[in-house]
Amino acid sequence: MSRMQVFEGVKVAEFAWVAVGPQVGRTLAEHGATVLHIESHRRPDLLRLSSPFKDFEPGIDRSGLFAMLNTNKCSISLDLSKPKGKDIARKVIEWADIVTESFGPGTMKRLGLNYEEVKKIRPDIIYISTCMQGQYGPHASFRAYGMQLGALSGFPALVGRPDGEPMHPMAYTDWLAPWYLVTALIGAMLRRRKTGKGMYLDQAQYEAGVTFLAQGILDYTVNGRVMNRMANRDPYAAPHGAYPCQGEDRWCVITIFTDEEWEAFCQVLGNPEWTKDAKFATLLGRKRNEDELDRLVAEWTINYTAEEVTALMQATGIPASVVYTIEDVFNDPQLKHRQHFVYLDHPVIGRHAYHNEAIRFSKSPPDFWKAAPCLGEDNEQVYKEILGLTDAEIADLLAEGVITTDADLPEGLAL
């Protein structure tokens, strides 16, 4: 696309790995920034070791999740544990406008690449640290993954039956934190344009995550109530649940909040006797008899496909839908209309799908022009053209193992 990209010319040194930091870099890269994803064959980005792998075969360039989060980026392989590796890292930082990292607190300091040191190289740098619980505090050393943090952030406690076990909603905080970070980062970038000053952004993904519990936090501190999971129920609606439909493990959701919706619902069912029972006529009545109500609704839905239930409900203005599997999502006509799935050719994985944004811009849309990089794929281009190293310098760094290659992969990861 020849349209101007918002972040064209913006340069990002992405020391960040796994999910949150790279999603920030991905948003910037999709809007034109040059993002260098920095890793090494001795210590690749951990997400490269995470399934799902293409055809179930593990491999550092076969991870679907790594690919999903690293569109449009360049990957360089650099061993930061070596002194010359740190020198190169400083060259990268000199080049960059933005530095991101997501290591445990103290790691970048041990590498001599923390904000205070980096400010000496680039006084106006915008430096982002995102980690589980923040840069300081008694739990700052917390070393876990998105799921553990999700558990700490209160979400699994809110999923499932009240009398059943809690369940993980995936790695939930990983998909809240990055959007907040981009929002703040752009504010910092605009401020720098005006003032010439940089900034340090310290994100605790725990703190970002907990914002999505706000109403529960207020309810606890004001009313002393600890919100618990309530399956699919809602205090202000009934029926409100997931109901079984025809087919294997197929479900619909029906959510009825108003009298009008309830009346329309009864009509759709053909006004069977049970719907005329006075106890179901009011919201309070339906809430008092909700177990029976849910059972009766399920006895009706089981005779139809989820698609049929949805069509019947939506036709009369009742909010209802199929519970989509991921396969259903890929086939959804609305997402096709939004062009949600962007297909790019990855050298190892082949042609595969990337998320578009949830946002459509009338004047500054993103551009998806490159699949995620293989490890070290862009070494030559970056070391020569961006950092200005000579062929001889690069050869030396390779010989010394500062620039790593496949030969440096730890046993067990070898391709």
Partner 1 sequence: MRGKKEFEVMRNLSNREGGLLNSYRVLDLSNEKGLLCGKILGDFGADVIKIEPPGGDSARNIGPFYKDIAHPEKSLYWFALNTSKRGITLNIETADGREIFKRLVKTADFVIESFDPGYMDSLGLGYPALEQINPHMIMTSVSPFGSSGPYTHYKATDMVLWAMSGFMSTCGQTSEPPYRVSIPQSYLHGSLHAAMGSMIALYYRELTGEGQHVDISIQEANFFSTDWAMPMWDLNSINLRRSGAGGFVDRPTPPGPFWIRFIWPCKDGHVSLFLAGGAQAGLVKSSTQLVEMANSEGMAEYLKDYDWTTHDMSNTSQEERSQIEEAVIAFLRTKTKEELYDAALEKGMVLGSLSTIKDIMGSPQLAVREYFVEVQHPELGDTIIYPGAPVKLSEVPWRISRRPPLIGEHNEEIYEKELGFTKEELSRLKAAKVI
Whether a cis peptide bond, with omega within 30° of 0, leads into 239 is: yes
Under the binding rule (CB under 8 A), the answer on residue 196 touching partner 1 is no
Cα separation of 121 and 295, whole Å?
67
Q: Which is nearer to partner 1, 243 or 383 (CB)?
A: 243
Rule CB under 8 A: choose which of 1, 124, 338, 391 binds partner 1.
Answer: 338
Query: CA nearest 76: which of 290, 383, 413?
Result: 383
Rule CB under 8 A: choose which of 120, 215, 392, 399 binds partner 1.
Answer: 215
Q: Between the CA of residue 394 and those of 273, 403, 409, what are the distances in Å?
A: 82, 8, 19
Q: Which is nearer to partner 1, 2 or 215 (CB)?
A: 215
Q: Which residues in 225-284 contact partner 1 (CB under 8 A)?
A: 225-237, 240-244, 249, 251, 253, 255, 257
Question: CB of residue 183 vs partner 1: minimum separation in angstroms?
Answer: 5
Under the binding rule (CB under 8 A), the answer on residue 156 touching partner 1 is yes
Residue positions annotated with a catalytic role: 174
Q: Which residue type does 179 have?
A: W
Residues, the chain: 415
Contact by Cβ (8 Å): 354, 22: no
Q: Which is nearer to partner 1, 210 or 402 (CB)?
A: 210
Question: CB of residue 157 vs partner 1: minimum separation in angstroms?
Answer: 5
Under the binding rule (CB under 8 A), the answer on residue 319 touching partner 1 is yes
CA dihedral sign, ordered 168, 169, 175, 180: negative
Rule CB under 8 A: choose which of 84, 91, 121, 140 binds partner 1.
Answer: 140
Rule CB under 8 A: choose which of 83, 138, 196, 270 binds partner 1.
Answer: 138
In the chain, what's the furthest Cα-to-Cα distance?
A: 87
Question: CB of residue 390 vs partner 1: minimum separation in angstroms?
Answer: 35
CA angle 351, 354, 357 (to 5 degrees): 155
Rule CB under 8 A: choose which of 87, 116, 123, 187 binds partner 1.
Answer: 187
Q: Which residues in 352-371 contact partner 1 (CB under 8 A)?
A: 352-353, 355-364
CA–chain centroid gap for 151, Å, is 16
Q: Between the CA of residue 45 and those of 67, 144, 158, 175, 256, what are the distances in Å?
A: 11, 15, 31, 18, 46
Q: Which residues in 50-69 contact partner 1 (CB under 8 A)?
A: 50-56, 58, 64-65, 67-68
Q: Which is nearer to partner 1, 14 or 88 (CB)?
A: 14
Under the binding rule (CB under 8 A), the answer on residue 372 touching partner 1 is no
Rule CB under 8 A: choose which of 174, 377, 378, 408 binds partner 1.
Answer: 174
Q: Which stretch binds partner 1 (CB under 8 A): 75-83, 88-96, 190-198, 396-404?
A: 190-198
Question: CB of residue 394 vs partner 1: minimum separation in angstroms?
Answer: 29
**For residue 114, what is the DSSP state?**
S
Per DSSP, which regions of 20-142 are E strands? 34-39, 74-77, 98-101, 126-131
Helices 259-268 + 306-315 axis angle, to 10: 130
Question: CB of residue 73 vs partner 1: minimum separation in angstroms?
Answer: 17
Q: Which residues in 26-45 contact partner 1 (CB under 8 A)?
A: 27, 31
Under the binding rule (CB under 8 A), the answer on residue 106 touching partner 1 is no
Q: Supply the Cα-derived Rg of the chain in whole angstroms.
A: 26
Q: Which residue type does 88 have?
A: I
Question: CB of residue 102 vs partner 1: minimum separation in angstroms?
Answer: 13
- What string of DSSP letters covers 155-170? SGGGSS-TTS-----S
Question: CB of residue 341 vs partner 1: minimum separation in angstroms?
Answer: 8
Q: 300: helix, coil or strand?
A: helix
Cα separation of 342 and 72, whole Å?
12
